[in-house]
Amino acid sequence: MNEIKSIISDIKGGNIKPIYFLMGEEPYYIDKISDYIEDNVLDESEKGFNQVVMYGRDVSIEEIVSSAKRFPMMAEKQVIIVKEAQDLSRSIDKIESYAANPQPTTVLVFNYKYKKLDKRKKAYKAIAKNGLIYESKKLYENQVADWIRQVLGGKKFNIEPKASQMLVEFLGTDLSKISNELDKLTSVLPAETIITDKHIEENIGISKDFNNFELRKAVGQRDVVKANRIINYFAQNPKNNPLVMTISLLNSFFTQLLMYHGLKDKSKASVAKNLGVNPYFVDDYVNAARNYPMRKVSQIIALLRDADVKSKGVGANQTHADILKELLFKILH
pLDDT of 71 strictly over 90: yes
Q: Which residue has the higher pLDDT, 106 or 311?
A: 106
Phi first, then psi: what are they for 131, rounded to 5°? -135, -145
Note the pLDDT of residue 136.
Answer: 95
- Do the beta carbons of residue 131 and residue 19 sit within 8 Å? yes
Of 121, 115, 208, 132, residue with least CA distance to 170: 208
- Do the beta carbons of residue 238 and residue 244 sit within 8 Å? no
Question: Hey, what's the torsion of the CAs at 120, 126, 130, 135, to 10 degrees?
Answer: -40
Hey, how many other C-beta atoms are within 10 angstroms of the C-beta on 87?
Answer: 18
Note the pLDDT of residue 123.
Answer: 96
DSSP string, 236-286: H-TTTS-HHHHHHHHHHHHHHHHHHHH-S--SHHHHHHHHT--GGGHHHHH
Q: Which residue has the higher pLDDT, 233 or 318?
A: 233
Residue range 295-318: average pLDDT? 89
pLDDT of 243 strictly over 80: yes
Q: What is the 8-class DSSP label of residue 56?
A: T
Hey, how many other C-beta atoms are within 10 angstroms of the C-beta on 97?
Answer: 13
Share of the chain above pLDDT 70, in %: 99
- pLDDT interval class at 333 (50, 70, 90): confident
Side-chain-side CA neighbours of residue 175 (13 Å)? 22
Pairing status of strand 132-135 against strand 78-83 = unpaired
Note the pLDDT of residue 29.
Answer: 95
- pLDDT interval class at 73 (50, 70, 90): very high
Note the pLDDT of residue 240.
Answer: 82
Hey, how many other C-beta atoms are within 10 angstroms of the C-beta on 305?
Answer: 12
pLDDT of 206 strictly over 90: no
- For residue 113, the surrounding DSSP H or E stretch is strand 106-113
pLDDT of 35 strictly over 80: yes
Residue range 296-304: average pLDDT? 96
Hey, how many other C-beta atoms are within 10 angstroms of the C-beta on 244?
Answer: 12
238 strand-pairing partners: none
pLDDT of 316 strictly over 80: no
pLDDT single digits (tens) 156-184: 999 999 999 889 888 888 899 999 999 99
Of 108, 48, 113, 49, residue with least CA distance to 82: 108
- pLDDT interval class at 24 (50, 70, 90): very high
Share of the chain above pLDDT 90, in %: 82
pLDDT of 284 strictly over 90: yes
Residue range 216-239: average pLDDT? 92
- Do the beta carbons of residue 112 and residue 21 sit within 8 Å? yes
- pLDDT interval class at 313 (50, 70, 90): confident
- Do the beta carbons of residue 117 and residue 92 sit within 8 Å? yes
Note the pLDDT of residue 142.
Answer: 81
If DSSP codes are grouped into helix, strand and coil, which group holds residue 157? Answer: coil
Residue range 20-48: average pLDDT? 95
Mean pLDDT computed over every residue of the chain = 93
